[in-house]
Amino acid sequence: MNMTQREELMKTLHECMEACNYCYDACLQEDDVNMMANCIRTDRECADFCGYTEQALARDTPFAEELLRACAVICRACADECRQHDHDHCKYCAEKCEKCEEACLAFTA
């Protein structure tokens, strides 16, 4: 992974973290929060892990591959959860998670 690739990957992780945290916040304000319980949970997991991974990349962690492998699985699960809901914040989050999963997988061959 060269510097440009790392910057790009960090940006993708960051956008995913923001989308997940935004979706988490919005889910907690929905009329029917029961429906969103799993989405709240996966949003938090995905936001926290993308944020963690991005910061680890920023310090050039020697464990990028391990982190990205786990991150891809978490992003996939969060996308799958968000895809089940019609809220705009869920659709947007699913897109960002899918993009992030793809970016992570590119470095874990």
Which of 2, 29, 86, 109 touches a copy of itself (CB under 8 A)?
Answer: 29
Residues 6+ apart with CB under 8 A from 66: none
SS (H, E, C) 18-44: HHHHHHHHHHCCCCCCHHHHHHHHHHH
- For 2-32, b where at least 16 C-beta lie within 10 A, e where not — what string? eeeeeeebbebbbbbbebbbbbbebbeebee
24 binds a copy of itself (CB under 8 A): yes
41 binds a copy of itself (CB under 8 A): yes
49 binds a copy of itself (CB under 8 A): yes
14 binds a copy of itself (CB under 8 A): yes
From 73-81, 82-90, 91-99, 101-109, give the range in contact with a copy of itself by CB under 8 A: 73-81
* Residue placing its CB nearer to a copy of itself in the complex, 39 or 94: 39
CA distance 26 to 30: 6
Total binding residues for a copy of itself by CB under 8 A?
40
* Residue placing its CB nearer to a copy of itself in the complex, 81 or 98: 81
